[in-house]
Amino acid sequence: MSERPYLILTLRRTGGTSLMSFLARVSSFPPLQHEPLNADRVWGPLTKAFRKTGDAAALEAALAQRLERRPNIKHCFEFLPYRITLALIEACAARDYAIFLLTRRDEASRLRSLVVAQATGAWGTQQAAEIYPRILAGEKSLAAVDLETVRKRAAADAAALGMVLRFLRHRRIAHDWLLFEEIYARDGGIEARACEIATRIGLAVAADDPRLEAFAERAGQGSADILPFLPNAEALGALVEELSLT
């Protein structure tokens, strides 16, 4: 089986950055800025143009041009126009991309992690290492979370996921559905799972390959330690448990 580029479809706070970073290390296809269609990213002009004009044909043509080199892509779909996501999926499928859908079984944990990232501005490990100690030391205070915004975010994310699933199934687009909890389980098998995922893009990665280290050593950012510092942490906890289907 020959190597293929890949598209990771995901929601924020599902471990997509770690998965993308590992696959980018082993893949020979061109790297691309994570979430390139976000308005402030490298393909952001496509999104801005589509929001302004709604011109699907122009969007498809622009995507076709940018996919000529078949770059690897990580795409968070929950806050972009759904037509952009559908056009991206279809364009990648037509170019024989391996398509991964990455979600998180524990929706309550995902929402808590998302809220903490938004409240603190710490979206990555490096930012957390700089910001969290100040919060824990009482040097930086956090504002109360708008619970209605969290409720709306959860509903919008669920609707976006349903849309993607429906599109993949109705168009009969082959894909692999990955779960955060299964990939990153601390059971000693994380390297084997990473190697198995690599086979789905046509690569054989040895169990002792040094490129596995960053993936295997993935550690949480410590978001749970920050939750109590939100003024309405108890109400937030009750809400995300209510919204979670697990």
pLDDT digits (tens, 9 = 90+) for 110-155: 999 999 999 999 888 888 889 999 999 999 999 999 999 999 999 9
- What is the per-residue pLDDT for 188? 84
Name the helix (H) or strand (E) containing 166. helix 147-170
pLDDT lower than 70: segments of the chain: 1, 214, 216-220, 245-246
Sign of CA dihedral 49, 87, 8, 244: positive
- In this prediction, residue 246 carries a pLDDT of 58
pLDDT at 124 (0 to 100): 80
Q: What is the pLDDT of residue 217?
A: 57
Q: Would residue 68 be called left, alpha or beta, if left means φ above 0 and alpha means ψ between -120 and 50 degrees?
A: alpha
Q: What is the pLDDT of residue 218?
A: 57
176 vs 171: CA distance, rounded Å? 15
pLDDT score recorded for residue 216 = 62
pTM of the model as a whole = 0.93
